[in-house]
Amino acid sequence: MGLLEGRTAVVTGGSTGIGLAAAQRLAAEGAHVFVVGRREPELEKAVAAIGDATAVVGDVSVAADVERLYEQVRARGKGLDVVFANAGVNHLATLEEVTEEDHDRVFAVNVKGVLLTVQKALPLLNEGASVILASSTAAQNGAAGMGDYGASKAAVRAYARAWTNELRGRGVRVNVISPGPVDTPMFEDVFGERADEMKAAIGAAIPAERVAHPEELAAAVAFLASSQSSFVHGVEIVVDGGELAA
């Protein structure tokens, strides 16, 4: 029997990368997973790969889309045990280069999207539910060109601290996972043709001497989702191959 047998989970940004790997791991542990993404073809492929899952097409920065997600969760009739607020976008731009449109999109998905995902889940959360927020080492490492992204992920960490205290009377745990460099499509989104070059360079600069596999992040998500982390509240688990120690 898996660690999450009979549980219900939501994973946003679940069609690729860390979200997909996490959804697969949660399903393997026995959960039924509602997987959210903006692109229907990729989402349908993800659900086929996950198994016990339901696809929900939507944008987490749009309140109506998030409400529609939770209508489907409610209809299942078992409440909600795990929320992994993972959906995120990045845009590489320095202070001089960043536009208002770039800034607004990053914060709409990475900050407002997390707020809506968790806020609108509240009526459905079962006793002992686990809420997991996706931050990033970019919130701490000060990488050039990553100011907006890092700031948005620092906001996510701040949410977790506040929500840990606000939800304490409900038995709901809120924690954060902060990946370092991970081999996901975001590398291509950010670096384009230089993606492979950047993976090699970034990996070589950290103690692990490589970037992470999404499944390594999924293992941390599964730990936070399960009762194995029952006394873990308000923490940030950094999975970065030693990046912040370098």
- The whole-angstrom separation of Cα 110 and Cα 193 is 25
Q: Residue 125 has what pLDDT?
A: 98
For residue 162, what are the contacts with CB-CB under 8 A and spacing of at least 6?
none
Burial annotation 70-94 (CB, 10 A radius, 16+ → b, else e): beebeeeeebbbbbbbbbbbbbbbe
For 125-154, what is the mean pLDDT?
Answer: 96
- Cα–Cα nearest to 115, from 137, 131, 92: 131
pLDDT in tens, 88-122: 999 889 999 999 999 999 999 999 999 999 999 99
The structure tokens 């549980």 sit at: 7
**Sign of CA pseudo-dihedral 87, 92, 96, 97:** negative
Which architecture does CATH list for 8-236? 3-Layer(aba) Sandwich (3.40)
Query: 0.75 cut: is pTM over it?
Result: yes
Percent of residues, the chain, with pLDDT higher than 70: 100
> With the CA atoms of 184, 39, 221 and 6 taken in that order, what torsion angle do they form, in degrees rounded to the nearest 10?
-150
Query: 32-37 and 125-134: which strand pairing?
Result: unpaired
Report the mean per-residue pLDDT for the chain. Answer: 95
Q: Among all residues, which ones are annotated catalytic?
A: 149
3-state helix, strand, coil in the chain (%, to 5): 50, 20, 30
The full set of domain ranges for the chain reads: 8-236
pLDDT in tens, 209-242: 999 999 999 999 999 999 999 999 999 999 999 9
> With the CA atoms of 59, 178, 15 and 120 taken in that order, what torsion angle do they form, in degrees rounded to the nearest 10?
-40
